[in-house]
Amino acid sequence: MKLKSGHESVHLQGPEMEKQAKDFRGYEKGLVRLHPGRWLFTPNFEKFADGLYTFKYKSSDVVIMTWPKCGTTWTQEVVWTMRNNPDLNNSDALLDIRQRSPFIESDMFKPIPAMDDTTSKNPYLENFRKRCPGKDPADGIVLQMAALYPDPRTIKTHLPLSLMPPTLLDTTKVVYVARNPKDVVVSFHHHSRVMKESDYVGHFDDFVQYFVDDDLLYGPYWLHLKEAWEKREHPNLHFIFYEDLKGNTLEELKKLDTFLGTNLTEAQLKGILKYTSFEEMKARDEKIQKESEWFKVSRNVDIVEKEGGLFRKGQAGDWKNKLTPEQVEKMDIWTRNNLSSLGLDFKYGL
């Protein structure tokens, strides 16, 4: 299938797909790979790819762009709070971040509902019917609602620049967050076990192999990173390392304040620093989980209860507790082969 981005979409078949479906029980309906780039997505991505590529971004928008598990939700909350809740008195802040800041391509993870489906308990679908009367949910629930979000919009994506509108940086500010690959693979492994949309049941060593083979969902981290790194001097792109944000949060908030033009005071920035700390965000997320039936449907609750949910540790350097020497060597080889030419230095622990 040819997409408007110029990519060709091909469905995985044979032993490659059989192994993916065995290790990731959530991928039973298959996967598609996009060429060039070898980007990897659920089959539903084909339905929404052109809409994502032609989505109308505004100059007042801010896009949070990361490969999975690079500090996305944290950065999302920081940016939304700086722009919409600098004095921490906006009642909308009580809503889940997903309701305030749309995850633009997330329709590909959900079953495509029928127009006349009135039995679904999906909160996204219920909200869609209220906000988009007469619209067909099969054309994308989040995608269509995102167009109606009030300004200023803060929009999350894990898509690379090459699958976003080609004029994105000419119109819109993008905050890109990178994280050292060793912590990324550990965090993504946990995430893939927690979320039923992937439901990973394979061995951790196999997961590391999927990573170095560029065979995890979304595809090559190195290429995603390379596309953004090469645009890092663009005035509408703000490139952040997760480890810097973790190690000196207030200083990074000040840089974000300058980039976003929010002109916040020192007191406001310190208030936001505390409000968006790992401990406070984790406590708020746990409260939402307890009150949400959808949480029980979408996540492996037993793993969450034993090991933590989306907010697990929030650390830099946790890979040292998980990766074996052989896995570390494998990750180092992957990094040298794919990223050494870029001249960027990862921080592997604080």
Say if residue 224's pLDDT is above 70: yes
66 phi, psi to nearest 5 deg: -150, 160
Range name among 175-189, 278-292, 306-320 with the lowest pLDDT average: 306-320
Say if residue 312's pLDDT is above 60: no
Most confident of 104-118, 223-237, 270-284, 311-325: 223-237
Distance CA 23, CA 210 (A): 11
CATH 3.40.50.300 fits 59-99+150-342, yes or no: yes
Domain boundaries, the chain: 1-54, 59-99+150-342, 103-148
Structure tokens at 9: 């979409």
CA 100 to chain centre: 15
The rounded mean pLDDT for the chain is 92
* Cα–Cα distance list, 99 to 86, 103, 145, 166 (Å): 18, 9, 10, 27
Q: Give yes or no: 158 in active site.
A: yes
CA 54 to chain centre: 20
Q: Which of 7, 11, 35, 158 is catalytic?
A: 158
Q: How confident is the model at residue 64 (pLDDT cuts 50, 70, 90)?
A: very high
Adjacent-strand bridge partners of 200: 24
Task: Please compute the mean of the pLDDT values over residues 321-329 and round it to a whole number.
Answer: 96
Say if residue 307's pLDDT is above 90: no
How many CA atoms lie within 13 Å of 151's alpha carbon, on the beta-carbon side?
6
In the prediction, which pLDDT does 107 show?
Answer: 95
In the prediction, which pLDDT does 284 show?
Answer: 85
pTM of the predicted structure, to 2 decimals? 0.94
* DSSP sequence for 280-346: HHHHHHHHHHHH-HHHHHHB-HHHHHHH-SSSS---SSGGGGT--HHHHHHHHHHHHHHHGGGT---
pLDDT in tens, 164-181: 999 999 999 999 999 999
Structure tokens at 136: 């067909």
Q: How confident is the model at residue 10 (pLDDT cuts 50, 70, 90)?
A: very high
Task: Please compute the mean of the pLDDT values over residues 27-38 and round it to a whole number.
Answer: 97
Say if residue 84's pLDDT is above 70: yes
Say if residue 314's pLDDT is above 70: no
- Greater model confidence, 144 or 289: 144
